[in-house]
Amino acid sequence: MANLEFQGGQVLLPSGLARETLAISGDVIAPPCDARAIDLRGFWVLPGIIDLHGDGFERHLAPRRGAMKQMAEGIVATEAELAANGITTAILAQFISWEGGLRGEQFADQVFCAIRDTAPHLVTDIRAQLRLEIHLLDLFQTLPDRMIDWGVDYIVFNDHLPHARLAQGRQPPRMVGQALKAGRNPEAHFAMMLALHAQARDVPAALDELCAALQKRQIRMGSHDDATKSARDTWHRRGTCIAEFPETLEAAEAARDAGDAVILGAPNVVRGGSHKGNVSALELISMGLCDAVASDYHYPSPRRAALILAKSGVADLPTAWGLISAGPARILGLEDRGTLEAGKRADIVILDAQTQRVAATMVAGRFSYMSGEIAERFIAP
């Protein structure tokens, strides 16, 4: 890490982009100092992107079934994609689900151990989130201690069982393919789904107990795909203070009324709507019902979403970019990053002002990505 002074570029301030000098001393942003000057005319300098929820890493960990034997190499490849998209802090969301396969308990154990053991040696700040299917009651008793062992301090609860079909004793669509993909006999897979559905009445009390145990271990909790006010209110009472991707305006308003954080999907913003027909992220953002935007399944989308919001006039650039920087930092309690203030970590993304593509990414004063013309500016004597 060296002392650098970025000159001539447009720096994102609370008031907007301004031609300012930004200095870096070691791993933090500093007041202007005696440092090597870098000409950044033609570039924008913005806070690094903090991605609260993304599963785009899956393609790197298991490009084909059984093909990835060295999980650490997949984490390294994931970092390269994150850095190329301006992401300086990333939460990798890994399922433990009844679906099995890449979302099964055994695979999740491998992923969490790989992140725990590999991430400290990378430049990007990579962390893990557990996405748990709530009907897996057999896991509840040991889960809090296992999360501590994995180094995972963030859990989000899901319920993707097709209850309406199961209540009628009918196989869900595409179930056979799902079972075979997980290496299961389709009849046994269907029987397992029916058994999980049958114990639904035991789930609420078990979740109350699990959430209380997780709170004692200071594990951050959230719910996923809330559809109703009553569902979000129930999660709030359990201490889950984050609402990921609420499906309806009603659920988003309930989260906001309770003082909980609302995270929306960046692809929803980029597409102009949900691919599943849920409430539009643009609508919720325009109503002030959003605290952060996450990559979900596509790492280029947070940057694109922020720029689209600013260009369309839904929000000014500082506000829009704050949904992928300062907002996520607040939700995660990361007070050392998210803005370009002196004393904050030097987590920075530099965009080409014309194309608005990522030219360079810096994490705590170290470059994780650099490409094209900007590299020549740093190499030049």
Burial of 381 (0-12, 13-18, 19+ CB in 10 A): exposed
Q: What is the 3-state secondary structure (H, E, C) of 239-298?
A: CCCEEECCCCHHHHHHHHHCCCEEEEEHHHHHHCCCCCCCCCHHHHHHCCCCCEEECECC
Residue 367 within a domain = yes
Minimal CA–CA distance to 308: which of 263, 273, 261? 273
Residue 152 within a domain = no
Strands 154-158 and 125-133, by their bridges, are parallel
Residue 95 within a domain = no
CB atoms within 10 A of CB 125: 23
Residue 91's DSSP bridge partners are: 127
Which residues of 78-188 form beta strands (DSSP E)? 87-96, 125-133, 154-158
pLDDT tens string, the chain, 381 residues long: the values are 668 999 999 999 999 999 999 999 999 999 877 788 999 999 999 999 999 999 999 888 875 555 556 789 999 999 999 999 999 999 999 999 999 988 999 999 999 999 999 999 999 999 999 999 999 999 999 999 999 999 999 999 999 999 999 999 999 988 998 898 888 999 999 999 999 999 999 999 999 999 999 999 999 999 999 999 999 999 999 999 999 999 999 999 999 999 999 999 999 999 876 656 678 899 999 999 999 999 999 999 999 999 999 999 999 999 999 999 999 999 999 999 999 999 999 999 999 999 999 999 999 999 999 999 999 998 876
CATH number of the domain enclosing 16: 2.30.40.10
| Tokens at 381, concatenated | 């004597």
- How far from the centroid of its chain's Cα atoms is residue 346's Cα? 20
Residue 276 within a domain = no
| Range 313-340 burial, b when 16+ CB lie within 10 A, else e | eebebbbbbbbbbbbbbbbbebeebbbb
* pLDDT at residue number 320: 97
- Phi first, then psi: give them for residue 78, nearest 5 degrees: -60, -45
Residue 344 within a domain = yes
Residue 315 within a domain = no
Could you tell me the pTM of the whole model? Answer: 0.94
- The Cα 178–Cα 203 span in angstroms is 24
DSSP annotation of 32 reads S
* pLDDT at residue number 59: 86
Cα→Cα distances 184→67, 99, 170, 188, Å: 19, 10, 18, 7
Residue 126's DSSP bridge partners are: 90
Residue 359 within a domain = yes
- The Cα 112–Cα 115 span in angstroms is 5
- How far from the centroid of its chain's Cα atoms is residue 317's Cα? 21
State which residues form the domain around 360: 1-47+338-381
* pLDDT at residue number 271: 87
* pLDDT at residue number 61: 84
Residue 47's DSSP bridge partners are: 348
Residue 163 within a domain = no
| Tokens at 123, concatenated | 């430049």
* pLDDT at residue number 279: 83
* pLDDT at residue number 231: 96
| Tokens at 38, concatenated | 């870098």
* pLDDT at residue number 66: 52
Domains of the chain: total: 1
* pLDDT at residue number 18: 97
DSSP annotation of 101 reads G
